[in-house]
Structure 1
Amino acid sequence: MELPERTLQILHFHEPQLEFGFKQATPHPKDGLFLYGPHGKNRKVRDIRIGVVGTNDGIKFFKAWAADLKKPIEVPPPGKTEKKDRLHLANFPGIAEAFGITFNEDEFATCSLDRKAIEDASLIVNLHEAVKKVVQLYVTRIRKYHENEERAIDVWALVVPELIFERCRPGAKRTGLPTLRGDFGKKQRQRSDLPLLGDLIDHTAEDIFDDAPDFHRQVKAGLLTLTPSQILRETTLAPHEFKNSAGYPIRRLQDRATVAWNLATGLYYKTQPAPPWKLADVRPGVCYVGLVYKNLPNDPNDHVCCAAQMFLSEGDGVVFRGANGPWKTADYEYHLQPPAAKDLIDKVLSTYKDKNGSPPKELFIHGQTSFNDDEWRAFEAAAPRGTNVVGVRIKSTRGETKLFRDGDYPVLRGTAMLLDDRNAYLWTTGYAPQLDTYIGPETPNPLFITVLRSKKEMPAIKTVLADIMGLTKINYNSCNFNDGLPVTVRFANMVGEVLTMRSARDAERQPFKFYI
């Protein structure tokens, strides 16, 4: 029997526009900031209050970089094999000129750490204990500052020596290093392994085995209810100070102008009430939620932490912590039980109503797995009658589907292949005409998008794809043209990893800027 021919529809979405100062729009964050400034621009340049914690050298490196941020920084001249019109690069005009903020680097609140104390803590034989004690060196100094000083800090810059990056993360290789004895033995213990005479040790020390031995995650969790933070490696700030035997920097970095754009974007986002840009021409009354699931480390019941990341049309986000529970039902499937599902969406909708005065018209729930019947009914029950709830699955692909332009060239970013009215491939990476390049290491792979369920009418697949394209442009941790994933799932793993830390378990609702 002959099967009927099937025609696949190929279409292209134009690059989403971003809004900047004076309600001007352009697709590239750097262009918009250079020409118009941030969309919530103040009438005059605003001073921000920065705290710095690190070694004496780290503080010196950050102050030097901060002074450079106040000046123009040009991209380096092209090399012999590079194109002269490198449109993905842009000169940095200075933080006041692009973002409307400034600072006095001589007035930074500084907390100096002893490098030997960091070195010794990082060499403790038990990795959990080593990471915890290094984290405490930073978090304790910041907390003491807030307890004893009246001057408020908008953002803390945590400058870390390279040894922290090398030694204080899961699976760190410390072979050959002269490890030191700590309070616990070398074995990475479970709670059941701890000494029976618990009153002979500090009970809080037991908590070190409840957290993954990861400096970044533990520091973010420790500051989650206190202040936004920016973690910077000394080798990023002063690459010329760290060279190999051949005289080259030990790390390959982006050009200084690009580093300046990214650092300034993070400082602005974490110190201002509104992000530096927002999506233009977004439908009113739309709310996007990304579901986050992460296994709790060292949990005897194999429980999972769940959370929801809410993003509105202006781009900023809020993270809501849900209940811990047995949400993992298969290798790659997570499903909330109805009470937990309803409670999580209740939190999202309540905050949306507080911000906007009424519930959203549309609530898009983005996940990387499907939704079962009980879970979905709970989502619908949480939403008021006038809110349409739509479930969308967003999955990365690994090369099983390829599309080429003119037979040999990378496909245009924004190309979509519609399979039917609910399923489509969407290339969120690819050749960008405005940049005249494709920034990527291999042939671009698409996202596989499925509109799974809807409370009322099913939205058009083209509308869902256009929304996802827009959500790839609101990563405020950098100043890139776009990401490959929408923000609703781009940071899901990072947010989940922070929330599983024991010190984060009181964070019920926090701005997204605290997590990145």
Structure 2
Amino acid sequence: MTFEMSIVQLPEPSLQFGGATQQTDPKVGLEYAGPFDLRFGSARNPFINVGLVGTKETLDSATKWLERCSDTIPFLGDPSSLNRSFPSFAGAFHKNLQFSDEMTVTVPGERLDQLSEQLTKRDRFERFQEIVDIFVSGITSLAKRDTNRPDVVLICLPKSISLKARTVDRELSQEEKKVAKHIEDQQGLRQLELFDLSEEIEQTKEDLLKRDLRHALKAKALELRLPIQIVTPSLTEDSGTNQEPATRAWNFSVALYYKSGGVPWRLPVGEVETCFVGISFHHFRTTMRHMVHSSLAQAFSSEGEGFAIRGEAVPADPDQRRNTKLTERQAFILGTQVLNEYRARTGNAPLRLIIHKTSEFDKPEIVGFRDALREIPIVSMVTLVPSAFRLLRFGAYPPNIGTVCTVNGHRTFLYTSGYMPALETYPGPHIPQPFEVRCFGDSKPTDAVRDVLNLTRMNWNTADIRGKWPVTLSFARRVGGILDEFGDEVPEESSLRYFI
């Protein structure tokens, strides 16, 4: 039997910032060239209005943290490309943070402490909802203002809440218990793959068994169309168990900037305007049927504009195979929704549309998507499968990030994590696992792997360059959980800045 293998090394993704320079590291690009939207000139607001909701103690800590981020924060240790000092918020983003008592809402700390202690009792579900309602009342009062309406709100959680009320057990029906058991069984079958990555984006048993405080708060913020950022003591306080202060400042500031409406960086726009779409599946509850399956599309334009759309609901069958499929009609409807939303946001249809999924596309899905996207010149469907395939090389380190291995000319494997020459190390905790990239449609595998690698750098929720999943799929669990909390209705706002 003939065995042929070729290995190609892709360059690290190049990112655009405010100046003419392009960098592979967001921290370097922001420090030396500023955010991409500096190019917008006078249309750009020089301030970000930050609202705060929390107890007196957490508001004091959050205010001190914002003041701290307004100045340089040196890295405490040996600096490197991964570990850089924070140049101040204005130094990195060329905007100043504005916060004041007029944009601050104080909630009762003693009552929150009491509620967190009562979560172990039989009425824990009601106590959890009361915690949610207390913070939602603060968000609502800021959202309804005609003046002093913030661009983004920090929800400052006390330690008792962040430790004890992060999740609460759900009361499951028999149908839901069957679905949860099915998910658990399917995850058990995947344990044969070492360090399987799928659970990072796919729904787990715990997603069904518990309500999540972050998801509940973000769902209400989505309804009020006011982005929020959760702040806990692990962000605002220095300790031996949390990240180093400069690193926390970088990650916090990038997320805050994006949620306030900014564009931190973007991929260079090629000759062909492209829409990237990730398709995933999740369960949610509805008043029409207690448990249903729903498809979820996360889409991104060439300029980085991201939005999320929930597809049609279908009955959740606990006997269904792991790889949930869309019918031809459902694929057509979801493809049409994505295209309409893209046009509404950009003014034009893309010339190229790429769909990512973690399961194979079957014939009805292919026909449905192609029918919906028949006006798009280039349509490609790409499956990303965490693989048991491994490459070994001499020395102590795994293959470089961006390594592409093609076996017998038709199976392609991509490392989106691995040794990073710029850092002179592999910064991951486990053996890096490549994706098998399977491409169907108008794009070549060489284009597909390059797109996937580039999109791992488009996570505007962090300044870290170590993301493994492309942004088309990386927030699937989080978006699904928030839409589950949102309920039956379709939210008026679909921008990804409300979900991350």
Whether TM-score is above 0.5 comes out as: yes
- CA change 1:16–1:231 in 2 (3 A) is same
Counterparts of 1:53 and 1:14, CA distance in 2: 43
2:230 maps to amino acid: I
Q: Which has the higher helix share?
A: 2
Is 1:89 the counterpart of 2:83? The answer is yes
Cross-structure match for 1:448: 436
Identical counterparts, % of pairs:
26
Contact 1:293 1:305 (C-alpha < 8 Å) held by counterparts = yes
1:228 maps to amino acid: P
Is 1:128 the counterpart of 2:125? The answer is yes
Is 1:270 the counterpart of 2:259? The answer is yes
> Which secondary structure state, in structure 1, belongs to the residue aligned with residue 364 of structure 2?
helix
- CA change 1:12–1:191 in 2 (3 A) is closer
Cross-structure match for 2:245: 256
Contact 1:320 1:508 (C-alpha < 8 Å) held by counterparts = no
Deviation, structure 1 residue 301: 5.4
Cross-structure match for 1:402: 390
- CA change 1:152–1:223 in 2 (3 A) is same
Is 1:488 the counterpart of 2:476? The answer is no
Counterparts of 1:395 and 1:46, CA distance in 2: 43
Counterparts of 1:386 and 1:237, CA distance in 2: 47
- CA change 1:171–1:222 in 2 (3 A) is closer
Is 1:368 the counterpart of 2:365? The answer is no
Deviation, structure 1 residue 460: 1.4
Cross-structure match for 1:198: none
1:23 maps to amino acid: A
- CA change 1:56–1:301 in 2 (3 A) is closer
User: Residues 474-502 of structure 1, C-alpha deviation per residue, up to 9 Å, x if partnerless?
Assistant: 11111012411100111111111111114
> Which secondary structure state, in structure 2, belongs to the residue aligned with residue 145 of structure 1?
helix
Cross-structure match for 1:72: 72
Counterparts of 1:134 and 1:128, CA distance in 2: 10
Cross-structure match for 2:308: 319
- More deviation, 218-227/38-47: 38-47
Counterparts of 1:156 and 1:191, CA distance in 2: 39
Cross-structure match for 1:219: 217
Contact 2:357 2:382 (C-alpha < 8 Å) held by counterparts = yes
Structure 2: any 5+ residue segments left out of the alignment?
Answer: 176-207
Contact 1:319 1:510 (C-alpha < 8 Å) held by counterparts = yes
- CA change 1:338–1:60 in 2 (3 A) is same
Deviation, structure 1 residue 107: 5.0
Cross-structure match for 2:205: none
Cross-structure match for 1:435: 423
TM-score by length of 1: 0.83
- CA change 1:141–1:301 in 2 (3 A) is closer
User: Residues 356-407 of structure 1, C-alpha deviation per residue, up to 9 Å, x if partnerless?
Assistant: 443222211111112222222111111133433211111224xx32223325
- More deviation, 20-29/469-478: 20-29
Contact 1:310 1:318 (C-alpha < 8 Å) held by counterparts = yes
RMSD (CA atoms): 2.5
Aligned 1:176-255 pairs, distance under 5 A? 188=171, 190=173, 212-225=210-223, 226-239=225-238, 249=239, 252-255=241-244
Cross-structure match for 1:347: 337
- CA change 1:189–1:385 in 2 (3 A) is closer
Cross-structure match for 1:199: none
Deviation, structure 1 residue 315: 1.8
> Which secondary structure state, in structure 2, belongs to the residue aligned with residue 429 of structure 1?
coil
Q: Whose radius of gyration is greater, 1 or 2?
A: 1
Contact 2:159 2:233 (C-alpha < 8 Å) held by counterparts = yes
> Which secondary structure state, in structure 2, belongs to the residue aligned with residue 484 of structure 1?
coil
Is 1:461 the counterpart of 2:449? The answer is no
In the comparison of the two structures, how many residue pairs are matched? 459
- More deviation, 146-155/500-509: 500-509
Aligned 1:416-431 pairs, distance under 5 A? 416-420=404-408, 422-431=410-419
Cross-structure match for 1:57: 57
> Which secondary structure state, in structure 2, belongs to the residue aligned with residue 263 of structure 1?
helix
Deviation, structure 1 residue 411: 1.2
Counterparts of 1:322 and 1:238, CA distance in 2: 41
Cross-structure match for 2:163: 166
- CA change 1:137–1:301 in 2 (3 A) is closer
- More deviation, 259-268/112-121: 112-121
- CA change 1:189–1:484 in 2 (3 A) is closer
Contact 1:69 1:95 (C-alpha < 8 Å) held by counterparts = yes
Contact 1:359 1:387 (C-alpha < 8 Å) held by counterparts = no
Contact 1:359 1:384 (C-alpha < 8 Å) held by counterparts = no
Contact 2:269 2:303 (C-alpha < 8 Å) held by counterparts = no
Cross-structure match for 1:116: 110
User: Residues 429-450 of structure 1, C-alpha deviation per residue, up to 9 Å, x if partnerless?
Assistant: 1111111121111221111211
1:396 maps to amino acid: P
Is 1:19 the counterpart of 2:16? The answer is yes
Structure 1: any 5+ residue segments left out of the alignment?
Answer: 79-84, 173-186, 193-209, 240-248
Equivalent residue in structure 2 for 1:505, among 469, 489, 492: 489
1:219 maps to amino acid: L
Counterparts of 1:188 and 1:51, CA distance in 2: 34
2:100 maps to amino acid: D
Counterparts of 2:389 and 2:162, CA distance in 1: 36
- CA change 1:45–1:73 in 2 (3 A) is farther
Cross-structure match for 2:185: none
Contact 1:320 1:509 (C-alpha < 8 Å) held by counterparts = no
- CA change 1:223–1:13 in 2 (3 A) is same
Cross-structure match for 1:151: 148
- More deviation, 296-305/340-349: 296-305
Deviation, structure 1 residue 168: 2.3
Counterparts of 1:333 and 1:132, CA distance in 2: 34
Deviation, structure 1 residue 317: 0.4
- More deviation, 29-38/141-150: 141-150
Counterparts of 2:497 and 2:83, CA distance in 1: 25
Counterparts of 2:333 and 2:454, CA distance in 1: 28
Counterparts of 1:189 and 1:302, CA distance in 2: 10
1:289 maps to amino acid: V
Contact 1:17 1:281 (C-alpha < 8 Å) held by counterparts = no
Counterparts of 2:90 and 2:222, CA distance in 1: 28
User: Residues 323-353 of structure 1, C-alpha deviation per residue, up to 9 Å, x if partnerless?
Assistant: 2113767342112223322121112112222
User: Residues 256-277 of structure 1, C-alpha deviation per residue, up to 9 Å, x if partnerless?
Assistant: 11111111111111112x4210
Contact 1:423 1:461 (C-alpha < 8 Å) held by counterparts = no
